[in-house]
Amino acid sequence: MTKKEKFKLVEAFIIENREAHYRLAYSYVKNKETALDIVQDSIVKALNSIDKLDEITYLKTWFYRIIVNTAIDFIRKHQRISLMEDEILDFYLPNSVDQITDFDLQEAIDQLPPTYKTLIILRFFEDLKIDEIAEVTGLNVNTTKTRLYRALKILRIEVGEDFL
């Protein structure tokens, strides 16, 4: 496959899945503009390193890996500061028990170490399969399963057994 053909496929994939890419970046930084910046940086990185994509069948996991790494790099550079917009803050203000529980879960996910947080987000928010998550994270499948179960165990302790 030529570079031009790869470029067109990557471009179509990015446009088709832009909401999922934004959602993934947003799940890390909790800020609209920052998430958009992360997606934009990820697109630039992907297009600059398109030659590294050997198999087009791995396009999704390859690009997700770029987004996850870009988001984690941003968090490291900005010392885990996450900004929250006013309308999101209003959404999370306790009006009901369900909102409090959702907030507790989101807070517990945010407190996880980056490797565990990535696994939870990819599995339950992006609905990736275990083997796809392993590809995105660069881990083998068994390590991915073990870490995912460990992350769930931590969340059960933090949020409570009943919720999960």
- Render pLDDT for 14-23 as a digit per residue (tens, 0 to 9): 999 999 999 9
Query: What CATH number does domain 1-81 carry, 3.30.420.140, 1.20.1440.130, 1.10.1740.10, 3.30.300.30?
Result: 1.10.1740.10
Q: How high is the pLDDT of residue 84?
A: 53
The reply to whether domains 1-81 and 84-164 share a CATH topology is no
Question: Which one is predicted more confidently, 47 or 89?
Answer: 47
How many percent of the chain have pLDDT more than 70? 82
- The CATH topology of domain 84-164 is Arc Repressor Mutant, subunit A (1.10.10)
Cβ(43)–Cβ(25) below 8 Å: no
**Residue ranges of the domains in the chain?**
1-81, 84-164
Residue with tokens 């870490």, as numbered in its chain? 147
User: Can you tell me the mean pLDDT for 87-98?
Assistant: 47
Asked if the model's pLDDT at residue 96 lies above 80, the reply is: no
Confidence of residue 86 (pLDDT cuts 50, 70, 90): low
3-class secondary structure for the chain? CCHHHHHHHHHHHHHHCHHHHHHHHHHHHCCHHHHHHHHHHHHHHHHHCHHHCCCHHHHHHHHHHHHHHHHHHHHHHCCCCCCCCHHHHHHHCCCCHHHHHHHHHHHHHHHCCHHHHHHHHHHHHCCCCHHHHHHHHCCCHHHHHHHHHHHHHHHHHHHCCCCC
User: Can you tell me the mean pLDDT for 14-41?
Assistant: 93
User: Can you tell me the mean pLDDT for 90-96?
Assistant: 47
How many percent of the chain have pLDDT more than 90? 40
Q: Please tell me whether the overall predicted TM-score, pTM, comes out greater than 0.95 for this model.
A: no
Between CA 121 and CA 11 the distance in angstroms is: 24
User: Can you tell me the mean pLDDT for 84-108?
Assistant: 55
- Rounded to a whole number of angstroms, the distance between the first and last alpha carbons of the chain is 45
